[in-house]
Amino acid sequence: MSVRRRPYETHTPAPCRNRMHPCPGTPTPAHSTVTETHVITTSGLTKVYRSRGREVTALDGVDLHVREGEVYGVIGQSGAGKSSLIRCVNLLERPTSGTVTVAGQDLTALAGRGPRAGRELRRARSRIGMVFQHFNLLSSRTVQDNVELPLEILGKSGKERSRKALELLDLVGLADKAKAYPAQLSGGQKQRVGIARALAGDPKVLLSDEATSALDPETTRSILQLLRDLNRQLGLTVLLITHEMDVVKSICDSAALMERGRIVESGTVSELLATPGSTLAAALFPVGGEATGADRTVLDVTFHGESATQPVVSQLARTYNIDISILGAAIDTVGGLQVGRMRIELPGRYEDNVVPIGFLREQGLQIDVVGQDAPLVKEGAK
C-alpha cells in the first residue's frame, strides 16, 4: 500500500481502494462480486495470565472475523479483555491457545515473542499498524523522527525515511509540524503523529486501543474522521477497541461486545440493529419512554431506510380498534444507515396483544417487546 493524498488537493486523486465503501464516483467493475475476505481471524483465542500463583483468564475462546476494508469496533467494560485481544492480534502478547491469522498469514505459527520475535514475525508485525491511547511518542525526538522510527527499524535509507515521514505527516494534516517536539503539540495532534507512525510500514490493518479515550469530544470526532478517511482512501481495515458507544456509532461498520473474555454479540451494525433483544443495538440506538400503567404492552418498533411506521401504526389502530400511544421516537444515523425507532404502547398485557404484534411483524417491522425477554428470545430464534 502506498500513501494517498487527500482528495481535496489539486492533482488527480488516487483511485479509491476500498471495496466495501467505495468513495462516491468510484466506478464499479462490471463483474464485481463482493467476496467475504476476512483480513483478521482469530479462532478459539484464549489468554491466561499467570502471576504470583494467580490465574486470570482474559480471553476465553474468542472467534473474531474482521472483513477487509471495514472498521470493526470491539466494545466492552474495563477488564473485559479488549486490550488483551488486540495485543494478541499482533502477537505483542502470545495467546495461551488458539490462532490469529492476519492477511492470510497465521501469526501464531511464527516463532518468538515480545521483543524476541523472530524475523518473520517482526516483518508480519510491521504490516500491522498500532495506535495507542497515550500516543507513546518519544519526547526527545521531533515529530518527523517519531514517524521515521519504524522505518529505521525496517532498515530504510535516510532519504526514503524522510520522504515517507513527510508524506504521512501530510496525510494526517501535520505537514507543518515535522520539526516540532511532542511537548509542543495538542493531544489530538499527538494522536495524529501516532497514526502517521502506525502507517509507516504500509500496513493492511490498523489496530487502535482506545485511541480517543484521552481526548476531548471535539478532538475525538476529528480523530475518528481521520480514521474513517484513511479507511476509505487507503482501503485500510481498522480494528478499534473502545468503551464508548458513540465511537462505534459514528464510524464502525461492524461491532462486537465483549464480556469477561468472550464475544457475546457481533455482526455488522445493520445485522445488530435487526436482531431482536440485541444489547448492542439497544445501546447504539436507545429510545426512551415508560409504560403509563400496569396491563400495558410496550413495543419498540425499528425501521430501516425508507419504511415508515406511521401508516402501519394507524392501520393497526383501525384494524384492531385499539388506542396506541407513542411513548418515544427517534431517527438516527448509525454506521452510515438511517434507522428509525418508535416506542409504542398498546392496552392489555403481552398475551392480549399477540395478534397485533404478529400483524406488525408481518408488515416487515422489527418488533422488540420491552420487558418481555423470554418470549422475545424464543421468537427471535425461530
The site for Mg ion (CB under 5 A) is made up of 82-83
Cα distance between residue 168 and residue 199, in whole Å = 7
Answer with the entry of Mg ion, ligand ADP, none that 84 interacts with (C-beta below 5 to 8 A by kind): ligand ADP
Smallest gap from Cβ 188 to ligand ADP, in A, equals 22
* Best CA proximity match to 234, nearest among 168, 164, 166: 168
Beta strand pairing call for 296-304 and 337-347: antiparallel
Cα distance between residue 151 and residue 168, in whole Å = 12
Query: Which residues bind to ligand ADP, rule: CB under 6 A?
Result: 49, 51, 56, 58, 76, 78-84
Cα distance between residue 339 and residue 331, in whole Å = 6
**CA quadruple 185, 90, 125, 108: dihedral, nearest 10:** 170
263/312 with CB nearer ligand ADP: 263
202/244 with CB nearer ligand ADP: 244
Smallest gap from Cβ 79 to Mg ion, in A, equals 8
Smallest gap from Cβ 74 to ligand ADP, in A, equals 9
Cα distance between residue 303 and residue 327, in whole Å = 16
Smallest gap from Cβ 131 to Mg ion, in A, equals 13
Smallest gap from Cβ 61 to Mg ion, in A, equals 19
Answer with the entry of Mg ion, ligand ADP, none that 51 interacts with (C-beta below 5 to 8 A by kind): ligand ADP
79/328 with CB nearer ligand ADP: 79
92/291 with CB nearer ligand ADP: 92
79/276 with CB nearer ligand ADP: 79
84/191 with CB nearer ligand ADP: 84
* Residue located via cell numbers 507513546: 136
83/90 with CB nearer Mg ion: 83
DSSP 3-state of 140:
coil
* Best CA proximity match to 3, nearest among 208, 172, 194: 172
Smallest gap from Cβ 217 to Mg ion, in A, equals 20
Query: Given 3-state DSSP classes, what are the helix, strand and coil percentages for the chain, each rounded to the nearest 5?
Result: 35, 25, 40
In order of 87, 240, 273, 305, 360, the CA distances from 311 in angstroms are 50, 40, 22, 15, 11
Q: Which residue is nearest to Mg ion (CB)?
A: 83
Smallest gap from Cβ 76 to ligand ADP, in A, equals 5
Smallest gap from Cβ 312 to ligand ADP, in A, equals 41
SS3 per-residue string spanning 202-255: CCCEEEEECCCCCCCHHHHHHHHHHHHHHHHHHCCEEEEEECCHHHHHHHCCEE
Answer with the entry of Mg ion, ligand ADP, none that 56 interacts with (C-beta below 5 to 8 A by kind): ligand ADP
Answer with the entry of ligand ADP, Mg ion, none that 151 interacts with (C-beta below 5 to 8 A by kind): none
**What amino acid is encoded at 25 in this protein?**
G
Record the cell numbers describing residue 208, joined without a space. 487502535
Answer with the entry of Mg ion, ligand ADP, none that 79 interacts with (C-beta below 5 to 8 A by kind): ligand ADP
Answer with the entry of Mg ion, ligand ADP, none that 239 interacts with (C-beta below 5 to 8 A by kind): none
91/193 with CB nearer ligand ADP: 91
**Residues 143, 145, 151, CA angle at the centre, nearest 5°?**
125
